[in-house]
């Protein structure tokens, strides 16, 4: 998604923040809106659902985007803050 760090952009600082300072696992309302707007433009091949629940968003988009990075979506959206 726009604004989200790609796996190649993940820094040790981002991974450290994920582990040491969970109070900093945040994103702005604007970042949240961008993420949800982006998810709304995507469709999973073979999935005929007219909408996605938050469970769907997590399993179909967030988990694949964050897998192997050592960071959650909020850290990837806020990068090295």
Asked if pLDDT for residue 60 goes beyond 80, the answer is: yes
How long a stretch of residues is the chain? 81
Q: Provide the total of helices (H) and of strands (E) in the chain, helices listed first.
A: 5, 0
| pTM for the whole structure | 0.70
Question: What's the number of CA atoms in the CB half-sphere (13 Å) around residue 79?
Answer: 9
**Average pLDDT of the chain to the nearest whole number:** 86
Collapsing DSSP to helix, strand or coil, 35 comes out as helix
pLDDT tens, position by position, 5-17? 999 999 998 888 8
Whether pLDDT at 78 is above 90: no
């Amino acid at each position: 998604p726009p604004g989200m760090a790609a796996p190649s952009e993940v820094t040790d600082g981002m991974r450290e923040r994920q582990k040491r300072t969970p109070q900093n696992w945040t994103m702005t309302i604007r970042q949240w809106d961008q993420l949800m707007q982006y998810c709304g433009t995507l469709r999973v091949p073979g999935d005929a659902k007219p909408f996605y629940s938050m469970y769907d968003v997590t399993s179909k988009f967030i988990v694949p985007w964050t897998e192997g990075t050592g960071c959650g979506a909020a850290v990837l959206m806020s990068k090295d803050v």
